[in-house]
């Protein structure tokens, strides 16, 4: 029984790590701008997160992973961080 309890604790840590990874990936945006008028945001982290979740070995629940990516993408769009390229 003790071995089973340890394996559940390890799965919880992996699950939390994956959620944190999806939040960080989903919130990454590439914002391209030309001058001051044009702004074209590209959700690069969301695309990378989708690729990662489809090719993942240890799937827990793909629907939850997609929901976390979507929420993080929306938060990352309005947050003042990301990669800004001005040309």
pLDDT of residue 8: 55
What number is the average pLDDT over the span 69-83? 85
Rounded to whole angstroms, the Cα distance separating 28 from 34 reads 20
Task: Give 55 or 21, the one with higher predicted confidence.
Answer: 21
Contact 33, 86 (CB under 8 A): yes
Contact 65, 53 (CB under 8 A): yes
Domain ranges of the chain: 2-86
SS3 for 42? Answer: strand
Per-residue pLDDT of 35-74, as tens digits, reads 666 677 888 999 999 998 888 776 667 888 899 999 999 9
Task: Give 29 or 80, the one with higher predicted confidence.
Answer: 29
Task: Give 28 or 12, the one with higher predicted confidence.
Answer: 28
Q: Which two tokens stand for residue 30?
A: 């590439």
Confidence of residue 7 (pLDDT cuts 50, 70, 90): low
């Amino acid at each position: 029984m003790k071995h089973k309890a340890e394996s559940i604790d390890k799965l919880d840590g992996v699950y939390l790590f994956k959620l944190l990874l999806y939040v960080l990936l989903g919130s990454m945006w590439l914002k391209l701008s030309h001058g001051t008028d044009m702004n074209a945001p590209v959700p690069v982290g969301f695309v990378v997160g989708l690729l990662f979740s489809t090719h993942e070995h240890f799937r827990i629940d793909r629907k939850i992973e997609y929901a976390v990516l979507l929420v993080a993408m929306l938060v990352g769009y309005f947050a003042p961080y990301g990669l800004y390229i001005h040309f």
